[in-house]
């Protein structure tokens, strides 16, 4: 979809928008001091690099030039942050901003400002187009991307060499052949397949894309039980899991555990995102990454994941929120956040800066995939329920008694009913 604002580049329009944002009324009166409340997720893996430190540093820098706007940030773990925001909204105490995993339900209920009500035109136009589109609900952008990643196939170079594998796999046939060689060499998990409840929806989509399918069709309708998807999981059940090439029950293996096993040198191959590089390097694992293999060669695309910033209308601080978010999304700050947490920039300017900087070279291959990546259908209010169902059911599909066609059809029917109820 062509972004409606990409053609709006005139300085006069940008100036007009900026003037509108700085002069519009707020809930506290034009000249009064305002405290904006932000609830955010923690991307750190320890207190030393908690996102709280990032936000505190960013807030202090903003407040120096905007003394009448104070920023109060509360950071929560990913296991708690979505529920925290949900509880605040239900209690009538919505924060001014929330940086979480989903936005569509709040947008559908009319609780959010749209991006063009908040951001200057240059800021909104700077979002990577694929991410901006993924943030739309009914063709209006409410979700502002904040932190992104793509997936690649990771492989252990030492284990490959010991098994006599000279080149990383490019097709599923290669994956099965190489996994067989790794198994013969005694590798505990030749291919780690995490279909446990932690992040099943991600691993599921990766394999769907490799098989030429996906969660939705070309017009955005759910296509979970498509012939391509059924064939994908029949192949996994028969050719990978059925032949003992995963080394662990996929239904019981979570992503976190699979990553830890790779860092311990017990995994030959798995699908991973950029943060796995840091884990592997910390344990001295010599790894490589390649584009996702597919049924007949390289996969048609990879999965992209974005987290979302959204702004609630309840407190009426439209102008002040817009001013803060313009600051949050400037090139320097986006690049700083992405580099700190091993994520991909969500703006074109910061992406270009990262690609031009050799110190981020290990992220370049992930970043180059972002523009063509496929995202979860997060613009659907039905997606949280569908995602929850995928987590509960997809692990069994590849087991010895797995029924890919039956399970995928059941999930399709649930998704269709949920979609219809939302209309």
The verdict on residue 122 lying in a domain is: yes
Domain match, 43 and 15 both: yes
The verdict on residue 288 lying in a domain is: yes
Domain match, 241 and 137 both: no
The count of structural domains within the chain is 2
pLDDT digits (tens, 9 = 90+) for 114-144: 999 999 999 999 999 999 999 999 999 999 9
> Tokens in use for 372?
């063509």
3-class secondary-structure state, position 318: helix
Domain match, 279 and 321 both: no
The verdict on residue 271 lying in a domain is: yes
Return the closest-CA partner of residue 390 out of 229, 160, 263, 280.
229
Domain match, 312 and 183 both: no
The full length of the chain comes to: 423
Domain match, 309 and 245 both: no
Q: Look at residue 92 in the predicted model and tell me its pLDDT.
A: 97
The verdict on residue 97 lying in a domain is: yes
Cα–Cα dist 99/277, whole Å = 25
| CA 29 vs CA 22, 284, 396: distances in Å | 12, 57, 57
The H or E element spanning position 106 is helix 104-108
The verdict on residue 70 lying in a domain is: yes
Last residue of a domain, one of 375, 390, 410: 375
> Tokens in use for 371?
């523009």
Domain match, 196 and 113 both: no
> Tokens in use for 138?
């009914």
User: What count of other Cβ atoms lies within 10 Å of the Cβ of residue 78?
Assistant: 12
Instruction: Estimate to the nearest angstrom the gap between the alpha carbon of 81 and the chain centroid.
Output: 15
| Long-range pairs of 234-239 with CB within 8 A, sequence gap ≥ 24 | 234/404, 235/172, 235/211, 235/295, 236/193, 236/207, 236/397, 236/398, 237/397, 237/398, 237/399, 237/402, 237/404, 239/172, 239/176
Q: What is the 3-state secondary structure (H, E, C) of 328-349?
A: HCCHHHHHHHHHHHCCECCEHH
Q: Could you tell me the CATH number of the domain that includes residue 278?
A: 3.40.190.10
Residues forming a β-bridge with 149: 305
The verdict on residue 2 lying in a domain is: no
Q: Look at residue 421 in the predicted model and tell me its pLDDT.
A: 83
Return the closest-CA partner of residue 102 out of 318, 380, 321, 328.
380
The verdict on residue 247 lying in a domain is: yes
Domain match, 294 and 418 both: yes
Domain match, 254 and 390 both: yes
Q: Look at residue 47 in the predicted model and tell me its pLDDT.
A: 82
Return the closest-CA partner of residue 205 out of 277, 301, 314.
301
Domain match, 294 and 253 both: yes
DSSP code, position 79:
T
- By residue range, what is the domain housing residue 193? 152-301+380-422
pTM to 2 decimals?
Answer: 0.86
The verdict on residue 370 lying in a domain is: yes
Kindly give the confidence (pLDDT) of every residue in the chain, 423 residues in length, as a single tens digit, with 9 standing for 90 and above: 333 233 333 333 333 333 333 333 333 334 689 999 999 999 987 788 899 999 999 999 999 999 999 999 999 998 899 999 999 999 999 999 999 988 999 999 999 999 999 999 999 999 999 999 999 999 999 999 999 999 999 999 999 999 999 999 999 999 999 999 999 999 999 999 999 988 999 999 999 999 999 999 999 999 999 999 999 999 999 999 999 999 999 999 999 999 999 999 999 999 999 999 989 999 999 999 999 999 999 998 999 999 999 999 999 999 999 999 999 999 999 999 999 998 999 999 999 999 999 999 999 999 999 989 999 998 999 999 999 999 999 999 999 999 999 999 999 999 999 988 876
Domain match, 23 and 76 both: yes
Domain match, 169 and 238 both: yes
Domain match, 211 and 239 both: yes
Cα–Cα dist 152/8, whole Å = 35
Return the closest-CA partner of residue 150 out of 302, 361, 327.
302
């Amino acid at each position: 979809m062509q972004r409606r604002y990409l053609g709006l580049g005139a300085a006069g329009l940008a100036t007009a928008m900026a003037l509108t944002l700085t002069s519009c009324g707020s809930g506290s009166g034009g000249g009064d001091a305002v405290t904006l409340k932000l609830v955010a997720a923690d991307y750190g893996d320890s207190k030393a690099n908690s996102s709280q430190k990032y936000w505190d540093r960013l807030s202090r820098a903003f407040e120096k030039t905007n003394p009448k706007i104070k920023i109060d940030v509360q950071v929560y773990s990913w296991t708690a942050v979505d529920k925290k925001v949900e509880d605040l909204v239900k209690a009538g105490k919505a924060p001014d901003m929330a940086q979480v995993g989903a936005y569509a339900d709040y947008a559908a209920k009319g609780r959010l400002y749209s991006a063009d009500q908040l951001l200057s035109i240059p800021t909104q136009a700077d979002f990577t187009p694929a991410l901006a589109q993924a943030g739309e609900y009914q063709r209006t952008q409410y979700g502002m991307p904040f932190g992104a990643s793509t997936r690649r196939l990771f492989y252990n170079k030492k284990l490959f060499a010991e098994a006599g594998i000279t080149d990383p796999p490019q097709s599923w046939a290669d994956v099965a052949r190489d996994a067989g060689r790794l198994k013969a060499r005694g590798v505990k998990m030749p291919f780690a397949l995490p279909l446990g409840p932690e992040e099943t929806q991600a691993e599921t989509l990766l394999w769907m894309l490799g098989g030429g399918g996906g969660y939705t069709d070309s017009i955005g309708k759910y296509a979970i039980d498509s012939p391509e998807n059924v064939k994908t999981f029949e192949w996994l059940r028969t050719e990978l899991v059925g032949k003992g090439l995963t080394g662990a029950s996929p239904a019981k293996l979570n992503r976190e555990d699979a990553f830890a096993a790779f860092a311990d040198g017990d995994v030959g191959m798995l699908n991973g995102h950029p943060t796995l590089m840091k884990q592997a390097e910390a344990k001295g694992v010599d790894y490589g990454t390649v584009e996702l293999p597919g049924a007949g060669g390289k996969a048609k695309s990879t999965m992209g994941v974005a987290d979302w910033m959204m702004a609630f209308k309840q407190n009426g601080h439209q102008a002040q929120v817009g001013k803060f978010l313009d600051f949050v999304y400037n090139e320097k700050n986006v690049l700083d956040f992405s580099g700190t947490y091993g994520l991909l920039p969500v703006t074109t300017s910061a992406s270009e800066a990262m690609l031009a900087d050799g110190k981020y070279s290990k992220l370049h291959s992930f970043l180059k995939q972002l523009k063509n990546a496929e995202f979860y259908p997060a613009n659907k209010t039905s997606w949280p329920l569908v995602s929850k169902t995928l987590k509960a059911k997809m692990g069994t599909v590849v087991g010895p008694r797995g029924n890919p066609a039956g399970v995928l059809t059941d999930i399709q029917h649930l998704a269709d009913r949920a979609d219809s109820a939302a209309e």
